[in-house]
A and B are shown apart, each in its own frame.
Chain A
Amino acid sequence: MTEKIQFELNGKKVEMPLEKGQALLWALRTNFNLTGTKYGCGEGYCGACTVIMDGEAVRSCGIAMEDVAGKKIMTIEGLAQSGKLHPVQQAFVDHDAMQCGFCTPGMVMNAYGLLLKNPHLTREQIIEGMEDNLCRCGAHKRIIEAIESVAQTSAV
């Protein structure tokens, strides 16, 4: 019989057959059809696959499912609550902090993770914390401004 694992996904308990070595990224995208989490490099360089695991921003392409058992996972789909954008999402919208939008879910989740740890990030801390999230379109300036606006109002 195949082994099963349980974890919490966007606030709901879920169960799935364990495939040792399966990356969380692909479990999300294929098993759960949560396609907001993106593949950009598969090797931890780009951050397009960022999700929150037990309150911490992590790169889902580098996390094996056996390590997800019992954890709380939040993806971009779980951030907006009852149809209302999270302040970080709203700030991205208000600042036009995207172009193609492919990096956006990862950016939003990483920013959210940073703010969870420190709601009053300085500009320097934002830059440092976002450094390894890549954006090819060059939306960085507005992404920094968007996160800054949230950090100032500490709306998280």
Chain B
Amino acid sequence: MEKNKYYRDELPENNPVFELDRRDFVKLLGGGLFIYFQLGSILTGLAAESEQRKSLPTDFNSFLHIGEDGKVTAMVGKIEMGQGIITSFPQMIADELDVPLESIKMVMGDTELCPYDAGTWGSMSTRVLGPTLLAAVAEARSVLLSLGAEYLQSSSEYLVIENGVIAVRNNKSKNVGYGQLTKGQRIEKFMDVKPKTKDFSEYKLRGKSFRRADAIAKVTGEAMYSGDFRMPGMMYAKILRPPSHGATLVSADTSEAEKMDGIQVVRDKDLVAMLHLDPEKAEAALAKVKGEYKFDEMKVDDKSVFKHMLEFPSEARVVKSSGDVETGKKNAEMVIESEYHNSYVAHSPMEPHTALAYPEGDKMIVRASTQSPFGTQDGVARELGIGNEKVRVIAPFLGGGFGGKGSFLQAIEAARLAKLTSKPIMVQWTRKEEFFNDNFRPAAVIKITSGVNKSGKMTMWDYHEYFAGARGSDTVYDVADSKTTSHSARDVHPFGTGAWRAPGNNTNTFARESQVDMMAAKVGADPMDFRLKNLKDERMLGVLKAVGDLFGYEPAKLPSGRGIGIACGFDAGSYVAHIAEVKVDQKTGKVKVVRVACAQDMGYCINPEGSLIQMEGCITMGMGYALTEEVLFTGGDIHTANYGTYQIPQFSWIPKIETRILEKNEAPQGGGEPGIICMGAVIANAIFDATGARLYQLPMTPERVLEAIKK
């Protein structure tokens, strides 16, 4: 896709948050056109996402407002955490509505001003919310067009709209602006049918690259994250943490801490917190608190966890099945059985969980670093025993989330303390707390039995996923006898686990694509050719061919010694394929990724540059779980406390990165996650190609690589 940069001269509001309450907000918006989203509407987007169909408050929940000044305000419950919807949403809206990009203002992640949204994850902003938002915009446009027709005493088919001005096509001096049309009026529209949105061919702003709308705020330090807000009398809270998961507090001696100047000690059931105007003083006080605990931990550590998982009673669910794998196995000319392991991995956003909570009248206001403002609102309301309408959650900029900020314990903590003390309370987790309280990507085991015939056709596939999560576990290849089984159980993990960028799919794609490579090697085929032969899905074939082109791939049998690996996969509606080149130090086992190419089919791409950035981010972040990232623990005791013992990708790791987005006129799909799913497999396959050694466990640390080479 052509790199077309259209820079805005004037950037709109940098911080996507209004410092207003609802009354001021409505007053400020004044007249104009409001488009409401109506419950039970047949809009495709929300209907597909059942959890989003929660009843909406009816008093004020619009998607879109067009003001008397022609300014457009779009309210969405999503948050901006770097994925770039603060830039791509205005593009979609401006395009659909025929207004200049600068006239769009986004209000995001505020439970009081925005319609309900379950959370910002699963690469769903564009593909799920997008169509709904666009429908609202299309509705607004058609209302304005008919108002314009009335005003200009013409019929709408004779009218054109450009830059928010409706004009008579063959006499453009006869015109009227959107703002003028809404002047003095307060028009409210509820959508109950799906209006017709524009066709791809009519897009002007979509499909072009725009610079991040928040770039200036971010390079000047003006962008406000949760920890950057200040309130008069605000106290910093430091909270007593157990030494391990599974430990319960029996007693806490806070007497030494209480002697410190300016310290307020709060105890409420399990919550013990030190409050001070100075965060370091609060921290120092906490160091003086002696807690006693009773322990009930699981007897498992980072080495024994895989055995533990296979022995743990679990429930099997068949995800997909065709033909009969038993017969398939009997008839197969060659069978490969393997077992793959993946470790616990932390989200580790650069901004740890942070929240500021303060009472305001009978309400609790919470500014929190959360991927789910409405989930946080529910959680806080439940914890405080008050109605949801008494809790307002606002998510300002997030310093990364990756799934980890779907949990909002820090917001609950801040709100509890604010309620107990009637003061503004800031809770900012330390890096150690962030590692300790994280809901890690689950460790997992994958078992695969696969059959292939001598000509290189895959004939059977029996896939078992244990605790990885089913996303991405489908075969993707065209195999007659195949079955995918997902095994799950409650309480198998010694601590919390949760969604991590493309949940499940990193582990599943690692296992599947490693196995496919082994079959290619077994039959003496080129791994690209082998994949092309065994795939039917046109779009998967498309990305594989595209990445081959991009990389300049030359076929060779495995292992060729070149250190080149291939992998492909499917996530969040998008198709991806990667080729990586590595250098392996045979003496130390250290792997250096020198080059990665990635092709992605994500349907119609709204902001190509923004999507390429996401792909680069995925490739970079993905090298971490592939090569170094692993949470070390004994029972519930997390040994990983800071970056000294948890290495994430750094500048010296950065390979030559080449990315390509296929041009497609199909519904836009997710782009924040797909690019990461192949990183384990593509590097494992490249290591095999370099050394002939097969890695069955992530991360592929130098020790594990050496061990595999020695085998």
Contacts and interface: CB of A to CB of B under 8 A. Distances in A.
Contact of B652 (A46, A90, A128, A136): A128
Interface stretch (B116-124, B248-256, B310-318, B345-353): B345-353
Given A85-B220, A130-B651, A100 B620 contact: no
A79 B643 CA distance: 28
Nearest to A92: B219
A36 B349 contact: no
A49 to B, nearest CB: 11
A22 B227 CA distance: 18
A137 B643 contact: no
Contacts of B621: 136-138
Contacts of A99: 82-84, 400, 613-614, 617
Contacts of B644: 43, 45
Contact of A96 (B221, B227, B352, B613): B613
A131 interface: yes
B621 to A, nearest CB: 5
Interface in A114-133: 126-128, 130-133
Contacts of A22: 278, 280
5 contacts: A22-B278, A26-B279, A45-B643, A98-B218, A141-B620
Closest 3 CB pairs of A and B: A36-B221, A102-B399, A138-B620
Contacts of B83: 99
A16 interface: no
A38 B221 CA distance: 9
B431 A101 contact: no
B397 A101 contact: yes
A102 B220 contact: no
Contact of A42 (B220, B430, B609, B651): B430
Indicate the member of B81, B613, B618 with the most A CB atoms within 10 Å: B613
B428 interface: yes
B446 interface: no
Contact of A135 (B215, B277, B350, B614): B350
Interface in B224-273: 224-225, 227-228, 230
B215 A136 contact: no
B537 interface: no
Given A22-B278, A101-B223, 9 more contacts: A21-B280, A34-B221, A96-B610, A100-B397, A102-B349, A105-B219, A132-B650, A138-B617, A138-B619
A40 B614 CA distance: 22
A2 interface: no
Contacts of B96: none
A5 interface: no
B287 interface: no
A79 B216 CA distance: 13
Interface of A: 19, 21-23, 26, 30, 33-43, 45-46, 48, 75-77, 79-80, 85, 89-90, 92-94, 96, 98-105, 108, 126-128, 130-144
A123 to B, nearest CB: 10
B616 A41 contact: no
Given A35-B221, A138-B620, A141-B620, A40 B651 contact: no
A98 B648 contact: no
Contacts of B147: none
Indicate the member of B215, B222, B431 with the most A CB atoms within 10 Å: B215
A78 to B, nearest CB: 9
B59 to A, nearest CB: 33
Contact of A139 (B81, B228, B613): B613
A98 B215 contact: yes
A79 B398 CA distance: 23
Given A26-B279, A30-B278, A137-B617, A93 B219 contact: yes
A34 B348 CA distance: 24
A39 B351 CA distance: 7
B212 interface: yes
A37 B225 CA distance: 11
B215 to A, nearest CB: 4
Contacts of A143: 651
B152 interface: no
A104 B219 contact: yes
B340 interface: no
A79 B618 CA distance: 30
